């Protein structure tokens, strides 16, 4: 048996019915030509007859109160692998509703803490593989690696592999810190806070600078904790129910907007999200008259990408004014992210770590102390990650989408994650139904915001010559 460390144990001890601590993700594939009927049963049969490798062969064993260990077992694949079909006609909305239902329940602690679903019957001859894994069993980076490694970059590779398997493929070069996503690097930074005693020089000056901003003696470079306006998006989860939707945008067209406006891809996507959120609030007759605030992990590297070490922080970013035009909103968000990065670069590494921990704590406090929920630190979490740029396959089936199911954050009910996957930029919405009752409407508003920003930036094609939201705006 292997004793479970304090961090992993905390994911088990803090789990509640309305706060599941498992990660989930799915990949969608286009079935190979000629295998429209046979591919799903073949994949299911291969998965049911597979063997699980470490750590997917570990089962929880309690040794006493708040003390646990992992014991190695042979998982019952009849339990772990399920094959279901989306009801006809298999629309993406039906698929997301199915995924939301499957992701709602807690993982059974009498088995190794993971489940896999082969989801068939999706429109356009598609099939999905969804996996749930407890955060105590594997961390976020390990989960992403498992999801990536069961795929091949060759359409000729006929291996019917799953994320829990151990199998041989040509070794891929490891991703360096310069290509890791801000969220992944932030997780690594926070896990290294035990080294603080030997690295505290400069913290005092940074704390004094933050204090001066709080007292308005210096210009603020970001939003401060407990100063955001409470919105629908701050309605926290009362149960394990979650709502999901996604948006896919042409990555080249997103980059074209960033180039035309001299901003970053991150700024462009934040603008699209922010615009859609304000329109959603207006439609729900719950508008606000101040900018929304996003909690966001951020890379501090400049455009050259130079410099070593961990150059990442987390920040509370005030976004655009509610009534701002698309270009004004983009300018306001770009100015806010630039200012936040400048502040982060001016802080000692240890100060950045402490500051990120402070902000995370302020989100959690809103759940722990009820009256703090009325003065939240942020309205939502926005994060991004770098996905694979190459085309990937599963036994000849072309991957057309990958999406992590965002965990609803404490102190808010909405998480929006975006990633570049091949030629697409995929935006994933994860929400408590209390915060976003109609995620597909929010997804539609993001598409409309993207078109409006293209028009304003002058990068729209000839078919896009008017703002499609004008008839929707009260």
Catalytic (active-site) positions: 135
In whole angstroms, what is the distance from residue 21 CA to residue 19 CA? 6
Degrees (nearest 5) of the Cα angle 21, 22, 26?
Answer: 150
Task: Transcribe 114-147 into DSSP letters.
Answer: EEEEEEEEETTTEEEEEEEEETTTS-HHHHHHHH
Q: Which two tokens stand for residue 64?
A: 């006493």
CA 310, distance to chain mean position in Å, is 20
In whole angstroms, what is the distance from residue 359 CA to residue 344 CA? 13
CA 438, distance to chain mean position in Å, is 19
Q: Report the sign of the C-alpha dihedral through residues 392, 398, 403, 404, in that order.
A: negative
**Which of 299-307's residues contact partners 24+ apart within 8 Å by CB, and which partners?**
299/182, 299/185, 300/341, 300/344, 300/345, 301/178, 305/178
Q: Which two tokens stand for residue 161?
A: 């592999």
Which residues lie across from 385 on neighbouring strands?
419
Distances in Å between the alpha carbon of 411 and those of 134, 228, 359, 369, 370? 22, 11, 11, 10, 10
Q: Which two tokens stand for residue 18?
A: 């309305």
DSSP H/E element including 336: helix 326-345
Q: Which two tokens stand for residue 19?
A: 């706060």
Contact 155, 201 (CB under 8 A): no
Contact 249, 345 (CB under 8 A): no
Which residues lie across from 67 on neighbouring strands?
64
**Beta-sheet strands, E only, within 164-318:** 243-250, 293-299, 312-318
Pick from 344, 340, 348: which is nearest to 220 by CA? 340
């Amino acid at each position: 048996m292997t004793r479970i460390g304090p961090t992993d144990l905390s994911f088990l001890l803090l789990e509640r019915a309305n706060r599941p601590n498992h990660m989930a993700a799915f990949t969608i594939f286009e079935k190979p030509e000629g295998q429209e009927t046979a591919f799903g049963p073949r994949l299911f049969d291969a998965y049911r007859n597979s063997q699980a490798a470490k750590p997917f062969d570990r089962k929880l064993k309690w040794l006493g109160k708040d003390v646990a260990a992992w014991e190695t077992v042979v998982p019952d694949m009849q339990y772990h692998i399920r094959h279901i079909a989306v009801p006809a006609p298999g629309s993406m909305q039906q698929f997301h509703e199915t995924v939301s239902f499957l992701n709602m329940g807690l993982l059974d602690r009498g088995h190794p803490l993971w489940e896999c679903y082969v989801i068939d019957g999706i429109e356009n001859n598609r099939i999905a593989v969804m996996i749930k894994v407890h955060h105590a069993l594997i961390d976020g980076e390990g989960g992403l690696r498992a999801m990536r490694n069961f795929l091949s970059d060759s359409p000729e590779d006929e291996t019917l592999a799953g994320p829990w398997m151990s199998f041989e493929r040509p070794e891929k070069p490891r991703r360096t810190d310069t290509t890791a996503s801000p969220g992944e690097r932030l997780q690594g930074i926070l896990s290294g806070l035990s080294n603080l005693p030997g690295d505290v020089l400069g913290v005092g000056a940074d704390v004094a600078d933050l204090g001066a901003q709080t007292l308005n003696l210096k210009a603020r470079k970001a939003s401060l904790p407990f100063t955001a306006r409470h919105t629908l998006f701050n309605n926290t989860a009362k149960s394990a129910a979650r709502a999901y939707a996604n948006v896919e945008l042409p990555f080249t067209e997103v980059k074209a907007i960033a180039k035309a406006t001299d901003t970053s891809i991150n700024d462009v996507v934040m603008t699209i999200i922010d615009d859609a959120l304000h329109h959603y609030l207006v439609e729900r007759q719950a508008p606000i008259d101040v900018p929304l605030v996003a909690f966001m992990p951020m890379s501090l590297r400049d455009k050259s990408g130079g410099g070593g070490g961990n150059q990442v922080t987390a920040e509370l970013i005030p976004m655009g004014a509610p009534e701002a035009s698309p270009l004004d909103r983009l300018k306001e968000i770009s100015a806010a992210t630039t200012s936040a990065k400048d502040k982060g670069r001016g802080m000692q590494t240890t100060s950045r770590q402490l500051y990120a921990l402070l902000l995370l704590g302020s989100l959690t406090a809103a759940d722990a102390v009820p009256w703090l929920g009325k003065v939240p630190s942020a309205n939502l979490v926005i994060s991004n990650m770098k996905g694979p740029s190459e085309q990937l396959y599963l036994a000849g089936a072309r991957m057309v989408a990958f999406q992590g199911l965002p965990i609803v954050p404490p102190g808010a009910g909405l998480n929006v994650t975006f990633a570049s996957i091949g030629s697409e930029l995929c935006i994933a919405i994860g929400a408590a139904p209390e915060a976003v009752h109609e995620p597909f409407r929010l997804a539609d508003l993001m598409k409309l915001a993207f078109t409006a920003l293209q028009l304003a930036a002058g990068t729209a094609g000839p078919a896009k010559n008017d703002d499609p939201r004008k008839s929707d705006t009260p």
